Amino acid sequence: MTSVEVTTTHLRENPYELAREQLSRVASIFEIDPNLVEVLGRCKKAIEVSIPVAMDDGTTQVFIGYRVTHNIARGPSKGGIRYHPDVTVDEVRALAMWMTWKCALMGIPFGGAKGGIACDPKKMSRHELEGMTRRFTSEIINEIGPEKDIPAPDVGTDGSTMAWIFDTYSMNKGHSVLGVVTGKPLTIGGSLGREEATSRGALFCLRDAVAKLDKSLAGQKVVVQGFGNVGSYLAQFLHQEGSIVVGISDSTTALYNPKGIDIPAAFAHKRETRSLAGVKDAEVITDAELLELDCDILAPCALEQVITEQNADRIKASIICEGANGPVTPSGDAILEDRGVLILPDVLANAGGVVVSYFEWVQGLQEYFWKEVEVNAKLNDIMSKAFDETWETAQSRKLPMRVAAYGLAVERVAEATLTRGIYP
């Protein structure tokens, strides 16, 4: 039996400490009671579990998994489960906190949670992933539930992962519990529009942002970093809107074509080969070069902390749309703010996924499902309202969009905390 140890990480700074710094900055500007800040700066619960898995080669490996609940003042906690070699408890804590602000900004009745397992899913078979997921579910089964904590897909997980969690939980309860997870396949209670929801929400956010600048998405030069679920669909949507997508990347390959990449062909190639390597009519460049390409819109849709004080001054985009969680560090933020770059923050730009997860949860509880056009229309309404509220706050108080978004969200969670009181 062997334990899986993680020795390297893409994180340059402790994400939980960054999240707490963001909270402190926003609380000061919005004059939040320091006693409430002390409450909101801590996670309600964090558990670590050991996950032994029988591997295909006959060995047993032990993985480490986490589930963190940050806050439940506004409702049950909600958040994805991430499978990635660099998963740490502090990363999960930070993601849980950001999820709290995201749900509050969108006005949906959830608090924030997050989970993850330190593993490399790309090196595991489907059988191994299923065994690991089911054991992880069994270990956290008392922590999750449709009225308690509702997981969803994140980096390295998908509808199949949610199906295994749903089935394991339901088998232990003795009946099907549709609301225990979201992001499920359609055949077992998933929602139409959920797979593309994060990208569609980012599209709506970008559409409203460029409209405020008296522009349209057509003709805008775009770079999309990350070509997983979020990045691939966002690139497709922007291509359909007439944007020129000049750069894309996945975990192994970054591509550039100043005249525009054939996004439908790249999407199909990625689906077929699981890699962007070999896409025609595009130059292979480095990840660092991709972020610094000459473009109007940069959409980092992969992992945290890709734009820092080391490279922020070389970013040429005038708009950054955070498809990923925490892709810009506070020090990078400050440099971009000074340069007048418009940042559409993660808690706003990538909130479409949790909004449609909320729709799926509601549909599962009611056992009544909506048409895709209804899902997308409701998503548009919520995203546009959140964007307008954030934009108006930013303009009236002369704040960056990130500070405005976080401020609105923290105020709402603080108000809910005060209204409920502190027990006992």
User: Domains, the chain, ranges and CATH?
Assistant: 13-179 (3.40.50.10860), 197-344 (3.40.50.720)
User: For the chain, how big is the Rg over CA atoms in Å?
Assistant: 21
**What pLDDT, on the 0 to 100 scale, is given for residue 7?**
46
CA 362 to mean position of chain CA atoms = 20
CA nearest to 102, candidates 241, 207, 242, 198: 198
pLDDT digits (tens, 9 = 90+) for 36-67: 999 999 999 999 999 999 999 999 999 999 99
Other CB atoms within a 10 A radius of the CB of residue 274 amount to 11
Sign, CA torsion 279/280/285/288: negative
Cβ–Cβ < 8 Å for 152, 357: yes
Mean pLDDT taken over the chain:
95
Q: Which one is catalytic: 44, 45, 102, 114?
A: 114
Q: Give the integer Cα–Cα distance in Å for 84 and 65.
A: 11
**What pLDDT, on the 0 to 100 scale, is given for residue 419?**
96
CA nearest to 102, candidates 418, 382, 394: 382
Please, which residues have CB within 8 angstroms of residue 352's CB and are 6 or more apart in sequence? 197, 198, 199, 200, 201, 202, 204, 379, 383
Structural tokens at position 95: 């993601």
Other CB atoms within a 10 A radius of the CB of residue 61 amount to 18
Cis before 424 (ω within 30): yes
With 0-12 CB in 10 A as exposed, 13-18 as middle and 19+ as buried, what is 34? exposed
Instruction: Give yes or no: 148 in active site.
Output: no
Q: Block means of pLDDT (10 residues each) for the chain, length 424 residues? A: 60 86 94 95 97 97 98 97 96 96 98 98 97 98 97 95 98 97 97 96 98 97 96 97 97 95 96 94 96 98 92 97 93 94 97 97 96 98 98 97 97 97 88
**What pLDDT, on the 0 to 100 scale, is given for residue 304?**
86
